[in-house]
Amino acid sequence: MARLSMAGAVPGHNRPGASTSVGGTPSGAHGAAHAHHHEANARIATARAYLSGVDIPPADIGGYGIVAFKNLPTALDKDRLIKLCQAFIAAFPRQKDLPPTVDISDQMLTIWPLVHPHAREAEADSCPFLTTDYDLYAGQSAIADARRQKANMDGAGPFLIAWSPSSTRGVPDKIVLVYDLSKYDSLASFEMVFGAWTKTITTNPQLWRNGWTMAMRLAIARDFFDRFADQALEAIHIRDKNGKVGGAE
């Protein structure tokens, strides 16, 4: 199964700027609080994109993930990575196919880095091309930044690495979410991971908007329990800024 971890410090729930409701609030402040509540709970749209490393992350994106390779495909693993690619394509709509009413700040983008993201083969979703044209620098940089945030990146990979908001990437005291796909081989298993990923994003929009907290950890544990039964609680853990591991409670 996929090993899922959240690394970095666990932010407190009473962050500056957090809003609370108080009886007798003036109507103007009440309206602002209502708007904030609506924004926090607005739907998050998942999408995929092919981008070169220099364009990651896109400006104003709410949060994003990267499919990260440690090395380019070899004869030993090319078939496995093509299955990963097929599951990736099947799981998400293209970003450019989202309706114009979906603001970029309401998107959680999953990126497959490419050296030539505008190539005809990329437009055609050709997995042999997508695996061989993979932007290795972008993938290895994502792995290095996750490791800087104390994530365990010792597996062979690939990894699904995510930051929300996007500005938390590589910041030591912020949280990074890592799915280690090292032990997955089948198309069905990759589809299961991307399905759980999509479900977690779309059913917990307020958590993705506000940054990951202990509540996010518990939400992910619950979603993964639905998918992976009793293995999920063993696989999910969180590391604080000192590298201390806490198991699911």
Among residues 63, 34, 96, 52, the alpha carbon closest in space to that of 200 is found at 63
Give me the residue spans of the domains in the chain.
3-9+27-247
Backbone φ and ψ of 94, nearest 5°:
-65, 145
Q: Which residues contact 82 (CB under 8 A, 6 or more apart)?
A: 127, 128, 131
The residue among 84, 85, 67 whose CA lies nearest residue 186 is 84
Asked if residues 161 and 65 have their Cβ atoms less than 8 Å apart, the reply is yes
Q: Global pTM? A: 0.72
Give the mean pLDDT of 198-220: 64
Model pLDDT, residue 211: 59
Predicted pLDDT of residue 68: 97
What are the φ/ψ torsions at residue 61 (nearest 5 degrees)? Answer: -65, 145
User: Mind listing the pLDDT tens digit for each residue in 1-56?
Assistant: 455 555 554 443 333 332 222 233 334 443 433 334 444 456 777 889 999 999 99
Nearest CA to 136 out of 156, 115, 118, 152 is that of 115
Over residues 228-247, the pLDDT tens digits come to 554 444 444 444 445 454 44
